[in-house]
Structure 1
Amino acid sequence: MSSPIQSRVGQVFIPVRDMGSSVQWYAALLGFEPGTASHDDTIYDIPTDGDTRLALDANRPDFDPSGPPRFFFWTDDMGATLEHLRALGVTITSAVEDIGSVFFVQFEDPDGNALMACQRA
């Protein structure tokens, strides 16, 4: 069966309530220089490697952040990742889990969005 919709992710949107503090938090988490939001300060495009884009979205500040992580960040060093998260005071919500092909840790951003970092086994 064919479809005109491609099985390739273009952009992931992370809902946030306070754009300024969210940009600063993600800049510290991911190591980029914060810039200016667009669309009347409601969208911030986080610099990413690869084709998939990542944006902070403050258009719906009444969102419910519950649920599992909807995507993950790759890491090559889980130990350094844990140290980095702890140094930033990030809420870590799981132990490191090894599922065979990868191991991962879950954590939250200041808005309660569930995030994950994965390392290939």
Structure 2
Amino acid sequence: MKPIIYKRVDTIFIHVSNLKESVRWYSKLFGIEFQESDYRGPIYTIDMGPGRPGLTLDNHCFDEEYKFMPSNQPLFNVSTDDINAAYELVQEMGAEIVSEIETFPDLADFTFKDPDGNIIMICSCFT
């Protein structure tokens, strides 16, 4: 039987208060060159690579009833091969660190807040 709903995630929504500044901030986080001409709104999806879900930034500018509430738990995690360099980059960007680097036998991670207070995790897996 063919499934009606597919077992995949196509995009992850990140709710933001200032779309243009969030696009700029996430572009810097991921080392993507931000071009004013690329920004159109009212949402903006960052391509995370083939077979990966996109990150869609959404400021709900057309929803008068929407009340922004940042997540108090990590929304998602992204990967790095160098957890220390990632930590330094996030600090240089002025992000609030929520949890310091924790190292386990098979991974290391830390969490921080984006400009809207959403919590994000960065992980480095050891294989």
What's the TM-score, normalizing by structure 2? Answer: 0.83
Specify the alignment match of 2:39 in structure 1. Answer: 37
Residue of structure 2 equivalent to 1:88: 93
Query: 1:9 aligns to what?
Result: 9
User: In the alignment, which residue of structure 1 is the partner of 2:59?
Assistant: 58
Question: What's the offset of the Cα at 1:111?
Answer: 0.3
Q: Give the whole-Å Cα distance in 2 for the aligned partners of 1:48 and 1:32.
A: 10
What's the offset of the Cα at 1:99? 3.8
Match of 2:46 in 1: 46
Instruction: Determine the C-alpha separation between the residues in 2 that align with 1:115 and 1:104.
Output: 10
Alpha-carbon distance in 1 for matches of 2:48, 2:22: 16
For residue 32 of structure 2, give the secondary structure of its aligned residue in structure 1.
coil
The count of residues paired between Structure 1 and Structure 2 equals: 119
Query: Which 4+ runs in 1 deviate beyond 4 A?
Result: none
Q: Which whole-Å CA distance do the structure 1 matches of 2:92 and 2:124 have between them? A: 20
The answer for unaligned runs of 5 or more in structure 2 is none
For structure 1, list consecutive stretches of 5 or more residues without a partner in the other structure.
Answer: none
Q: Distance in 2 between matches of 1:101 and 1:91?
A: 25
Report the Cα distance in structure 1 between the residues aligned to 2:82 and 2:7, rounded to whole angstroms.
Answer: 29
TM-score by length of 1: 0.86
- Residue 105 of structure 1: CA displacement? 0.5
Q: Give the share of equivalent positions with the same residue, in percent.
A: 35
